Chain A
Amino acid sequence: MSILVFAEHDNSTLKAETLKTVAAAQAIGGDINLLVAGHNCQSVVDAAAKVNGVSKVLVADNAAYEHQLAENVSLLVTELANDYEHIIATALTTGKNFMPRVAALLDVTQISDIIAVESSDTFVRPIYAGNAIATVQSLDTKKIITVRATGFDAVATDGNAEVVALDTATDAGNSSHVSDELTESERPDLGAASVVISGGRGMQNGDNFKLLDGIADKLGAAIGASRAAVDAGFVPNDMQVGQTGKIVAPDLYIAVGISGAIQHLAGMKDSKIIVAINKDPEAPIFQVADYGIVADLFDALPELEAKL
């Protein structure tokens, strides 16, 4: 059996989640090839070649793939599909965007967001915001899968895979990239951080999120937010943790001024240790927190920062 794994990257860095997606591929079992589709992405190729368990890195370096437009990337992956029984991508915004197109082009359905592999055709995935866990068998001959990275442990990176350049350039010609407006941050990626501190509606405004900075600095943490804080315009959308935002499972998750709606819990309840700081003792967040403190966050945060 052969498995094609799509590498998530930004043309300069291979995303850490890809290492977990390769682990999912290993759980299925078979010869694993990693596809790097991008433009001027040699550093990603170098990193991809070191990923353990990968026999071959396929490189499609072309302007058509620079922004990984779904229309173009799905054609590329479909072109390669003949050689593989499983095609796998990480359930991040790039994979979520183009993979269902691949599935439809191949006339198979997609199994989204798997958290465990039962066998080569049977997978486990959360449904209803993680309030139920489904075991699903794919009846299609080809399996198109996206992987929730938090379900798997990253593979090591001391491998040495063969690098093969592809000379394909598939440009659907019906879409183009206009601009990116990316959040600049020195902090670790939300998906990769071992500590995450998130603020909710209780933060009251965007300025108050600065109260989280000092703590995040001391803990090497990423900063997240609840949907309420994003909707209110306190912070940008890429910070949203939850059912339809980012799914995180750090060693330590600190929820500040977050009540704990089921949609938020869906994005963080697999964290190893959860701390809740909230002035409402009835807040549902306390039902999942390992350590809770009933306090006004404006008193608790400066004190916590001072004592770390």
Chain B
Amino acid sequence: MKVLVPIKRVIDYNVKVRVKPDNSNVDLANIKMAINPFCEIAVEEAVRLKEAGVATEIIAVSIGEKSCQEQLRTALALGADRAIQIETSESLDSLNIAKLLQKIVEEEQPQLVILGKQAIDSDNNQTGQMLGALTGMPQGTFASMVKVDGDKVNVTREIDGGLQTVALNLPAIVTTDLRLNEPRYASLPNIMKAKRKPLVVKAAADFDVDLAPRTKLLKVTPPATRQAGIVVETIDELVEKLKNEAKVIS
């Protein structure tokens, strides 16, 4: 079966972002970018399904400027078979992203779409679920285990109280959580091979999707900073401070 893996180019997770002085947005100039960690887990899961003989073809797709081809090549190096870039210079709302992905789902007819549960830049946690609603597919979000079984997929989900397993009819949507797998490192030969794998570029404007913005970013400010406190020498001192200064214990 075909597996579609939408991925996003985001700030590297080790980098702490700064807000622009004019408060218009965050400053991403000259910042290290990478594949969103949850998307990387999604690619890895698809590759494991292929290695297990369940998936037959893995298609990675990303929406953005030409620079996101870098992350598509990463996905290809990890084991995706081919890639699609949907070119746009706009920063699109999740709903518009989901609508473009819906068009790719209609074209490619994958049995499984695996996405990261959230991007670490916008922290929205929306696109997979929206794609599920638009395509009518059921969803297994925040997955820590995925088992394809005939025309169904069992997904174990990380929920507030622990774990929940649901059975979904295929085709279905899966969004990944951290414990689903530990992504491999791409080997040098695979990185070289990825350069020759097919990558198709399509223009977002050609998809007959209304991409008008649904939100307006009014301003971005730095968070309130916490003052570093004091270092105490002994547990006695700590307990005393918590009781008498902070008054958070009695």
Residues of A at the B interface (CB closer than 8 Å) are 10, 67, 69-71, 74, 92-94, 96-105, 107-113, 122, 125-140, 172, 174-183, 191, 195, 219, 227, 230-231, 236-238, 243-244, 246, 251-252, 262-263, 269, 272-275, 281, 286-295, 300, 303-304, 307-308
Contact = CB atoms under 8 A, between A and B. Distances in A.
A100 B130 contact: yes
Interface residues of B, number: 82
Contacts of A237: 144, 158, 162-163, 177-179
Describe A's contact surface by its main secondary structure.
mixed
Contacts of B118: 244
Given A139-B213, A178-B166, A291-B229, A126 B223 contact: yes
B123 A174 contact: no
Pairs A-B, 4 closest by C-beta atoms: A100-B129, A290-B229, A104-B133, A109-B214
Given A128-B120, A272-B248, A10 B161 contact: yes
28 contacts: A70-B129, A100-B125, A101-B129, A101-B139, A109-B126, A110-B124, A113-B125, A127-B122, A130-B223, A132-B223, A135-B218, A136-B218, A172-B138, A176-B167, A177-B167, A178-B165, A182-B162, A236-B162, A237-B158, A244-B120, A252-B249, A269-B226, A274-B226, A288-B228, A289-B229, A290-B229, A293-B234, A293-B235
A304 B117 CA distance: 38
Contacts of A102: 133
Given A93-B158, A252-B248, A304 B226 contact: no
Interface of B: 11, 13, 16-19, 26, 38, 93-96, 98, 117-118, 120-134, 136-139, 141-142, 144, 154, 157-169, 177-179, 213-223, 226, 228-236, 238-239, 241-242, 246, 248-249
Nearest to B168: A175
Contacts of A238: 158-162
B214 A140 contact: yes
Nearest to A175: B138
A139 B216 contact: yes
A33 to B, nearest CB: 22
A101 B123 contact: no
A13 to B, nearest CB: 11
A197 to B, nearest CB: 12
A176 B16 contact: no
Contact of B166 (A129, A176, A288): A176
Contact of A179 (B126, B164, B222): B164
B162 A183 contact: yes
A223 to B, nearest CB: 14
Contacts of B165: 177-181
Contact of B236 (A126, A281, A307): A307
Contacts of B157: 93
B236 A92 contact: no
A70 B139 contact: yes
Contact of B17 (A101, A128, A179, A289): A128
